[in-house]
């Protein structure tokens, strides 16, 4: 190789590195530290061979990857994650956005759903939890649950309801069906191992009025002190939706039509994981679940396919003064794998 040729090659390498550094948009300025296990999937003799590599992701800094969650989860190691908290497109045609087209089970294959579920279950540790949202208006969770139920290594724990008090209405004269003021959360765990369940994170508090009634009913048995401890979690009716004037929607001009409330995400993360656990959010949207997980001191990796929502997320994280590493899928391998 002559000198000019070698110089050209060096220049090219330098430019490529600079371009990738530019693409790897990070709000973090600190060095990375261990450790997220990421898996490299390769084709070998017609079979997929997985080589586990250690990625350099700081425990305290959330990582958001812009890309397809199936492809990204395929690169995470089997049994590496404690909680997968998924708010997928479940086909309710929300605000008629492209990613939430109605899914007709007779026409559309549920392949995408089955595939992300397979990856989510694979990356969970034994005893790990998969939570996913769905709607009472579609058969999404029915199909997803039947698919999960066929797996020998997962257990259905409960179907939860999040009931909100506002929204979901239209004018009575135009109504063709019931108003919808609830969403479904499916709770699955991997293997017959007692899963994390921090009940105190979902404890319900009695109102003063309710305390009076309880004290009057249970004279002698019920004490003010015991009521102050709260009661076990029940169906959640105490968390409102993020409305259009909410602070959470004010950080960016880009709006997300399906932003979940932080309180809801916080409750789910708090109950179903512990500090230091790894939480994967395959459909990160505007970053709600990521923010909650980070605030509760979990390690978190989020994946979002739409670059506009990634922009929105950046602004929202800034608004919350949270550092986050943002990676493009193509740069992620270079950036995350040592
Ligand atoms: C229901 S929203 C999640 C909203 C989120 N919970 C929040 O509070 O902002 C679903 C998100 O999944 C994203 N999405 C759709 N297909 C995806 C895929 N294959 N990989 C990653 N994200 C995807 C959509 O762009 C959308 O932002």
CATH of the domain at 159: 3.40.50.150
| Domain count across the chain | 1
- For 270-307, write each residue's pLDDT tens digit: 999 999 999 999 999 999 999 999 999 999 999 999 99
- DSSP 8-state assignment for residue 61: S
CB of 99 shorter than 6 A to ligand 1? yes
The mean per-residue pLDDT over the stretch 156-174 comes to: 82
Question: 118 or 90: which carries more pLDDT confidence?
Answer: 118
Atom of ligand 1 nearest to the CA of 260: 8
Per-position DSSP letters for 273-302, written without gaps between them = --TT-EEEESS-TTSHHHHHHHHTT-EEEE
Establish if 225 belongs to a structural domain: no
Name the pLDDT band for 217 (thresholds 50, 70, 90): confident
Whether residue 32 lies inside any domain: the answer is no
Quote the pTM value. 0.80
Looking at the domain assignment, is residue 213 inside a domain? no
Inside any domain, residue 327: yes
Residue 28 and residue 6: Cα distance in Å, rounded? 34
pLDDT interval class at 192 (50, 70, 90): confident
Lowest mean pLDDT, pick from 45-49, 210-214, 333-337: 45-49
Q: What is the number of the ligand 1 atom nearest to the C-alpha of 306? A: 25
| Residue 29: predicted pLDDT | 29
Mean pLDDT of the chain: 81
Classify residue 209: in a domain, yes or no: no
The DSSP call for residue 54 is E
Probe residue for ligand 1, chosen from 84, 86, 89 as the CB with the greatest number of ligand atoms within 8 Å: 89
Give the strand pairing for 36-44 and 47-55.
Answer: antiparallel
Q: Is residue 86 part of a domain?
A: yes
pLDDT at 222: 87
Give yes or no for residue 32 CB within 6 A of ligand 1.
no
Domain annotation covers residue 293: yes
The domain in which residue 75 lies consists of 67-199+233-337
Q: DSSP secondary structure string, 119-158?
A: HHHHHEEEEEEEEEEE-TTSSHHHHHHHHHHT-TTEEEEE
């Amino acid at each position: 190789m002559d000198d000019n040729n070698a110089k050209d090659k060096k220049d090219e390498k330098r430019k490529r590195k600079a371009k990738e550094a530019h693409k790897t948009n990070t709000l973090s300025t600190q060095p990375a530290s261990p450790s997220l296990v990421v898996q490299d999937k390769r084709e070998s003799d017609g079979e997929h061979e997985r080589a586990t590599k250690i990625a350099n992701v700081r425990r305290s800094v959330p990582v958001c990857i812009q890309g397809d969650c199936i492809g990204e989860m395929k690169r995470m190691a089997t049994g590496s994650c404690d909680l997968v908290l998924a708010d997928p497109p479940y086909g309710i045609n929300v605000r008629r956005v492209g990613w939430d087209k109605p899914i007709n089970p007779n026409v559309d294959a549920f392949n995408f759903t089955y595939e992300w579920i397979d990856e989510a279950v694979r990356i969970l540790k034994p005893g790990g939890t998969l939570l996913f949202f769905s709607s009472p208006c579609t058969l999404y969770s029915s199909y997803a649950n039947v698919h999960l139920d066929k797996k020998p290594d997962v257990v259905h724990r409960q179907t939860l309801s999040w009931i909100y008090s506002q929204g979901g209405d239209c004018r009575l004269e135009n109504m063709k069906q019931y108003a919808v003021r609830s969403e479904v959360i499916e709770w699955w765990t991997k293997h017959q191992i007692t899963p994390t369940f921090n009940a105190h994170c979902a404890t319900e508090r009695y109102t003063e009025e309710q305390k009076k009634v309880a004290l009057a009913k249970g004279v002698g048995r019920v004490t003010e002190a015991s009521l102050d401890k709260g009661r076990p979690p029940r169906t959640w009716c105490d968390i409102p939706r993020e409305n259009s004037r909410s602070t959470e929607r004010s950080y960016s001009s880009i709006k997300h039509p399906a932003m979940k409330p932080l309180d809801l995400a916080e409750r789910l993360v708090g109950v179903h994981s512990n500090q230091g656990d790894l939480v994967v959010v395959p459909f990160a949207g505007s970053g709600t679940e990521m923010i909650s997980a980070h605030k509760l001191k979990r390690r978190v990796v989020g994946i979002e396919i739409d670059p506009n929502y990634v922009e929105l997320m950046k602004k929202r994280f800034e608004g919350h003064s949270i550092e986050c590493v943002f990676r493009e899928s193509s740069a992620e391998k270079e950036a995350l794998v040592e």
